[in-house]
């Protein structure tokens, strides 16, 4: 039917990653890889996005630890949450692959800072006898969040909608930290 929009591209790829033989089925709506054309010989760019995110996470976790020591846990958590929310939104809305990569790295910086600052902030407010329980609880919440991504992906199959939904979490945390 001519009125239906095609959401999948069938791309012929050979073993060397060029477009000639074999087939790669790419969903151009549900994946950033499909939308940005990171298939076949360009597939390494999709992996680079994940690497950039975790490099950013490391920078944020390390950098915001020092920042939190100098300006405080709560303000550092607020800045980290704002960075995460703003660049998560940028990730969800950009049409540029380069901006997408940069915004994923900056989102990683914010999430890394948020993880460090939130953990220390939460465990400093309770007595030493409960700090271990609080640490395990925060790890359990992270794991629960990862598990919730599965049904969320079923509800929001578009990568843009899913990215936007995950950007809402640090935005909500920012709102709660302002109270």
Banded model confidence at residue 125, pLDDT cuts 50, 70, 90: confident
Segment 4-46, tens digit of pLDDT: 444 555 555 655 444 444 555 556 557 898 889 887 778 889 9
Segment 64-97, tens digit of pLDDT: 999 999 999 889 999 999 999 999 999 999 999 9
Taking the model in full, what pTM does it have?
0.81
Strand partners, 9: 26
- How many Å is the Cα radius of gyration of the chain? 19
Whether residue 148 is predicted with pLDDT greater than 70 in this model: the reply is yes
CA distance 169 to 171: 5
Half-sphere exposure of 84 (CA within 13 A, CB side): 28
Banded model confidence at residue 146, pLDDT cuts 50, 70, 90: confident
Whether residue 98 is predicted with pLDDT greater than 50 in this model: the reply is yes
Banded model confidence at residue 123, pLDDT cuts 50, 70, 90: confident
pLDDT of residue 28: 57
Which strand (E) or helix (H) includes residue 108?
helix 97-124
143 compared with 59, residue with greater pLDDT: 59
Of 96, 110, 115, 122, nearest to 167 by C-alpha is: 110
Which segment of 48-62, 117-131, 161-175 scores lowest on mean pLDDT? 117-131
Of 97, 90, 82, 112, nearest to 163 by C-alpha is: 90
CA distance 117 to 74: 8
Which segment of 54-63, 103-112, 149-158 scores lowest on mean pLDDT? 149-158
159 compared with 43, residue with greater pLDDT: 159
Strand partners, 25: 10
Average pLDDT, the chain: 84
CA distance 176 to 147: 23
- Give the length of the chain: 179
CA distance 114 to 94: 23
Query: Quick one: tokens of 59?
Result: 């920078």
């Amino acid at each position: 039917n001519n009125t239906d929009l095609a959401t999948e591209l069938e791309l012929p790829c050979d073993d060397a990653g060029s477009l000639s033989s074999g087939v790669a089925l790419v969903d151009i709506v549900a994946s950033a890889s499909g939308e940005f054309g990171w298939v076949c010989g360009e597939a390494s760019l999709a992996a680079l996005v994940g690497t950039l995110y975790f490099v950013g996470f490391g920078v944020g976790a390390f950098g915001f630890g020092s920042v939190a020591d100098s300006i405080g846990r709560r303000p550092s958590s607020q800045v980290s949450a704002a960075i995460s929310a703003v660049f998560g939104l940028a990730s969800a809305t950009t049409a540029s692959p380069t901006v997408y990569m940069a915004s994923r790295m900056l989102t990683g910086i914010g999430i890394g800072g948020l993880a460090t600052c939130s953990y220390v902030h939460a465990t400093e407010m309770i007595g030493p006898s409960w700090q271990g329980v609080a640490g395990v609880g925060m790890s359990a919440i992270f794991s629960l969040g990862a598990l919730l991504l599965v049904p969320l992906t079923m509800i929001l199959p578009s990568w843009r909608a899913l990215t936007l939904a995950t950007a809402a979490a640090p935005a909500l945390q920012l709102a709660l930290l302002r109270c």
